[in-house]
Amino acid sequence: MAAAVEAPSVSSTGFRAMFAMLTPNESSFETVQEVPQYVQQASPYFIGLMLLELVVGALKAETPLPTISDGITSVSCGMISRLPLLLFRGFELSAYMFMWENYRLLELPWDSPWTWWFCLLGVDFGYYWVHRFAHEVAFMWAAHQVHHSSEYYNLTTALRQSFSQQFTSWIFYMPLALVIPPSIFAVHIQLNLLYQFWIHTEVIRHLGPLEWIFNTPKHHRVHHGRNLYCIDKNYGGILIIWDRLFGTFAEESDKVIYGLVFPIKTFEMIYIQVSVEQIVSNSNTFQVTAHKFLTFLNGPSWKPGKARLGDHEDNPKVTGKEVPYNPRWALPLQLYVVLHFFLVLKAYHDLFQNKMSVTLTLSTLSINLKVSLLSFSSLFLSILSNIFSLFLCLFLYNYTSFYSIHPSFHSLPHLFYSRLVVHK
């Protein structure tokens, strides 16, 4: 066999990749460099399915529609989570390759369907434990909580990903690196993530017998709930069998109320990504050093004298009548935010395109990365941040002009926006 068992076409595999429905024959590769960027290629399908969900949701009266503020926050968090890929290979894959190159015990054939299927199960099993630890270990929860911070449940919520979770998740995939080639792992770590996009919806209510084996929208709605019966349940990625085996499965029953137990009530993306104040605050209340330390290693609700995972005695009672945080914005401001968002989205796309063709210098990539990151955040901050944003954009414009680099046009709206005051 040559470089790949069969060279897959983007048009023929892109949509099926969203449901992890590729075959070993079309998605087995000899080297990591040959593995397609399935997640990046999925952008049109993300947009198309979100628009379809919006139309279907509008026709179904019982399905809540996403708000501009929440939807933009979710998609922007997704963009932020992938910005490090501009500068280096994903942390999970880099760690995996290091383990494979230095400590592998044997080398399963890259072109064997058995290797492909074994890796699918192995990555999904690893993800179950990544996900479970991210809920049961407080410092890992600090990274993961961004994904649960929306009080809505729709396809935009799927994109509300963590910037920092990859710095701990890699550990759980290391056993696979002892036997499975990195090129096969690089396929399945993407397919596992893509599969979890479509299950973030209220449009699909149930899928019958498939729900005995697969993770579905019905199962994952439970996982995103803050109802007592939903907390720390249904961790599976593609398969729900791990939850059934390890006692973390729960059926959907009462109306699910989404979001964090203590809603953060902000759309400021940087704050959502690095919200650790609750854990630090809890740690500071304890006098014993061991208790301070255990605050970060035990469950998020742990206190001295309680079990490792703590309990939910202090949780606000869920009544089923909770209303998501949705501050009123003037229509001109809403229009500006939408316009600015699409300009940043275009700049994000251009950044990855330029990165792939190696047309930008590292320093220019870095400057653009920082501006994009601050652009998302500044939409929801006060006048002080807007003034700072104005100076940042002027600096970027002068920097790019001085080095004869085409300036990032997405920064220009800041010249107008800096005169607006937007509160959290």
- Which pLDDT score, from 0 to 100, does residue 424 have? 43
Amino acid occupying residue 420: L
Residue 391 lies in a domain: yes
Instruction: Indicate the residue among 224, 246, 268 that finishes a domain.
Output: 246
Q: What is the DSSP letter of 110?
A: T
- 339: Cβ–Cβ under 8 A, 6 or more apart, which residues? 413
| Alpha carbon 368 to chain centroid, angstroms | 21
Q: What is the pLDDT of residues 345-385, one digit of tens each?
A: 877 777 777 665 444 454 555 555 555 555 555 555 444 45
- 327: Cβ–Cβ under 8 A, 6 or more apart, which residues? 69, 423
Q: What is the pLDDT of residues 331-346, one digit of tens each?
A: 887 888 888 788 778 7
Burial 316-333 (b: 16+ CB within 10 A, else e): eebeeeeebbeeeeeeeb
Residue 285 lies in a domain: no
Residue 172 lies in a domain: yes
| Alpha carbon 313 to chain centroid, angstroms | 29
Residues 212 and 355 in one domain: no
Q: Are 56 and 252 in contact (CB under 8 A)?
A: no
- 3 state SS of 165: coil
- 3 state SS of 225: strand
Average pLDDT across the chain, whole number = 82
Question: Where do runs of H (alpha helix) occur along 224-320?
Answer: 241-246, 269-273, 277-284, 289-297
pLDDT confidence tier of residue 422, bands split at 50, 70 and 90: very low
Q: What is the pLDDT of residues 154-213, one digit of tens each?
A: 999 999 999 888 889 999 999 999 999 999 999 999 999 999 999 999 999 999 999 999
Q: How many domains does the chain have?
A: 2
Residues 94 and 237 in one domain: yes
Residue 106 lies in a domain: yes
Residue 323 lies in a domain: no
Instruction: Indicate the residue among 202, 224, 246 that finishes a domain.
Output: 246
- Which pLDDT score, from 0 to 100, does residue 374 have? 53
Q: Are 198 and 18 in contact (CB under 8 A)?
A: yes
Residue 310 lies in a domain: no
Q: Are 15 and 43 in contact (CB under 8 A)?
A: no
Q: Are 185 and 176 in contact (CB under 8 A)?
A: yes
Q: Which two tokens stand for residue 340?
A: 């600015």
Q: What is the pLDDT of residues 174-188, one digit of tens each?
A: 999 999 999 999 999
pTM for the complete prediction? 0.84
Q: Are 266 and 274 in contact (CB under 8 A)?
A: no
Residue 66 reports pLDDT greater than 90: no
Residues 240 and 119 in one domain: yes
Residues 189 and 80 in one domain: yes
Residues 207 and 85 in one domain: yes
- CA pair distance 69, 79, nearest whole angstrom: 15
Residue 90 reports pLDDT greater than 60: yes
Q: Are 423 and 268 in contact (CB under 8 A)?
A: no
Q: State which residues form the domain around 185.
A: 13-246
Q: Are 393 and 378 in contact (CB under 8 A)?
A: no
Phi/psi region, residue 20 (left: phi>0; alpha: psi -120 to 50; beta: rest), is left
- Name the least confident of 40-54, 118-132, 287-301: 287-301
- Name the residue with higher pLDDT: 13 or 191: 191
Residue 79 reports pLDDT greater than 80: yes
Residues 59 and 168 in one domain: yes
Q: Please provide residue 209's backbone torsions phi and psi, each rounded to the nearest 5 degrees.
A: -60, -25
pLDDT confidence tier of residue 10, bands split at 50, 70 and 90: low
Residue 424 lies in a domain: no
DSSP H/E element including 266 = none
Residue 286 lies in a domain: no
Residue 1 reports pLDDT greater than 50: no
Residues 232 and 379 in one domain: no
Instruction: Indicate the residue among 227, 246, 265 that finishes a domain.
Output: 246
Q: What is the DSSP letter of 300?
A: T
Residues 335 and 226 in one domain: no
Residues 223 and 348 in one domain: no
Among 205, 209, 170, which Cα is nearest to 91's?
170
Residues 73 and 166 in one domain: yes
